[in-house]
Structure formats: C-alpha cells, structure tokens
Amino acid sequence: MNGLVLGGTYALLGIGLTLIFGLMNVVNFAHGEFYALGAYVAFAAVALAGLHFFLAIAVAIVAGVVLGGLCERVVLRPLRGESIDTVMLVMIGLWIAMQNTELLAWGGVAKSVPHPFPTAPLVLGPLSIAPLRLFVLVAAFVLIAGVHLLVHRTRLGRAMRATFQDADTAALMGVRIHRINTATFALGSGLAAAAGALLGPVFLVYPSMGDLASLKAFSVVILGGLGNLAGATAGGLLLGIAEELGAGYVSSGYRDAAGFVIIILVLLLRPSGLFARAERIG
C-alpha cells in the first residue's frame, strides 16, 4: 500500500519528465528541483503564511508552473537548435543553482509540513492506511487522470502530440512550437511541484531531496519508455512497489538502490522501455 502511495507520486514526477524529454528533447536534470520547490512552497504556505493545506498544494503547483515556464522562456528557448548535450549541461547548471538557492534560502535543516489529517490509520478490511497517505494517493491519481485528459482531449494536447511526432511539420501546420514548449515545460514542472507538495507532509523537506526525486523520475521514464505517458504511470507504480519490497526483503539501507538498478538493467536489456508497445502520446 505504501508502495502505491510512493508510486503515485513517482508517476507524477515521471510523467512531467517524460513530457519534457519526449517533446522538447531536453534531458531535464533540474526536474527534481521543481519537486523540492513544490515541497518548500507548500511548507512556506502552511507553516509561515498560515494557508489551508489544500490551498497550499494549489499554490505549490502554480509556483512550479510559473517558474517552469519562466525557465523555459529565459534559459531553454535561446538554446533551441543547440545539441542535446549542450542543453544537458545547462540543465545540470540549473539544477545546481536551484538546489543551492534553496539551501541558502531555507538552510540545511529538514522541515516538516503540517497537515490537517488525523494520524490514526484508517482500517479497511485487511488494509490499514494513514488518511494522509490515502489523500496523497487519490490526489496523485486525479492529477494523472487530468494530464491524460489534457493530452488526449484538448486542442493543446493535440498540438503537443503533433509536436512530439515532428516539431518542424507541426510548426508548418501552424502550431506555435514556442508556446507548446513553454506550456510543456511549465506543465511538467507543475507536476513535479505537485509531487513535492504531496509528499512533503509524508516525509521531510530538505534541500537535497530533489536529487533522489530526479533519479526516480529518470528511472520511471526509462522504465516506461520515452514520451510514453501510460508507461510512465505504470513505471511509477512499479518503482514504488519495487522499493517497498526491496526495503522490506533486502535491506532498508539499499532502498534507494532500486532506482539505480532499474535504470541500469532496463537500459541494458530493453532500452525502449518495458512498455514499448503501449500507447504513446505521439
């Protein structure tokens, strides 16, 4: 059950990254920093500004969207057409800069986000789950469903799918590629921030939390295949469950090794992802 909760948020992270990777061909090493940003904004909104918890999550998502859009506009757009390696270096730079800004702004001490849920576990038949975790799970799936609807049922989504297939042709057909890129990066960053805001109250909030989040997002994307939304959702759940099982049966010290091992194994054995035949956003 805990695996599912983790998996839901990993899926959010993975979907955001896979959209950016697949559509813009940007290896976004800063992705985890948007996750950390979401967590910190949620913390600030609840603990410092005294907002309600639900509102704080919304604020965090908005912050992720706005900052993501801004990053795309200022840093990535001038580099369009540069090689993927150059862009990768820039994203590494952004990652380090963002992480250390957080460190300077908030200090290195871990924070915890207060939340309004009772701590007594809900017992549903054989399952018992903390209400907070149940909420995280539900919220993650609502957001995932929302993204699927956005991509498959709206005009923006169609333009995104077209751009994913062939950006130049899409541009010739009148799709405003610049806008689509900005929207994609903003959406992906917003999803990462949402994941951070949701997991913030479950775990602690600290500056280097983004590193692990990036790693997990990459494992999810690699598991699911590039640009594959359904694959990322399934990959996220799979990783969450694999980690819980790994921590339970092997050793909790090696919990985070699951992500690394998955990346290495999948890339070696099935580079196109486990669900290569599954539906693609393109």
Partner 1 sequence: MSRLGRGLLATAALLAPFWLQNPYYLHVAIMAGIFAVLAMSLNLLLGYTGQLSLGHAAFFGIGAYTSALLTLQREWSFWLALPAAVALAGVAGWAIGRLALKLRGAYFVLVTISFAGVVSLVSVNWMELTNGPLGLPGIPVPTLGPWSLRSKTAYYYLVLAGAALSWLVCRRLVHSRIGRAFVALRENEPLAESVGVDGTRYLVIAAVVSAGMAGMAGSLYAHYTKFVSPEVFLFTYTVTMVIMVIAGGKGTLAGPVVGAVLFTALPEALREATSWQWQMLAYGVILLLLVFFLPSGIVPALSARRRTPTETPAPLPAAKGHAVGAASSPPPIAPTRAAGGGHAALPKRPAPAGARLQVRDLTVRFGGVAALGGVSFDVEPGTITSLIGPNGAGKTTAFNAITGYLTPTGGDVVFADGRLSGLRPCDVARRGVVRTFQKTSVFPALTVTDNVMIGLHLQGRAGLAGTIARRRRVQDEEAGLAAQAVDIIEFVGLTSRRDEVASALSYGELRLVELAVALAAAPRLLLLDEPAAGLTTAEKTAVSALIRAIREQGVTIFLVEHDMRLVMDVSDTVIVLNHGRVIARGAPAAVQADPEVIRAYLGGAGAA
Q: Which of residues 97-136 bind partner 1 (CB under 8 A)?
A: 97-101, 103-104
Which CB, 94 or 204, lies closer to partner 1?
A: 94
E strand residue ranges, the chain:
122-124, 127-129
Site membership for partner 1, residue 80 (CB under 8 A): no
Site membership for partner 1, residue 73 (CB under 8 A): no
Site membership for partner 1, residue 218 (CB under 8 A): yes
Per rule CB under 8 A, count of chain residues that contact partner 1:
39
Task: With CA atoms as reference, report the closest residue to 30 among 43, 42, 13, 11.
Answer: 13
Residue 48 burial (CB < 10 Å; 0-12/13-18/19+)? exposed
Site membership for partner 1, residue 92 (CB under 8 A): yes
Site membership for partner 1, residue 89 (CB under 8 A): yes
Q: E strand or H helix at 88, and its extent?
A: helix 84-106
Which CB, 1 or 75, lies closer to partner 1?
A: 75
Task: With CA atoms as reference, report the closest residue to 188 among 11, 17, 25.
Answer: 17
DSSP 50: -
Backbone angles phi, psi at 205, to 5 degrees: -110, 120
Q: Which of 117, 256, 276, 278 binds partner 1 (CB under 8 A)?
A: 256
* Residues contributing to the site for partner 1 (CB under 8 A): 27, 75, 78-79, 84-86, 88-90, 92-101, 103-104, 211, 215, 218, 222, 251, 253-254, 256-257, 259-261, 263-264, 267-268, 271
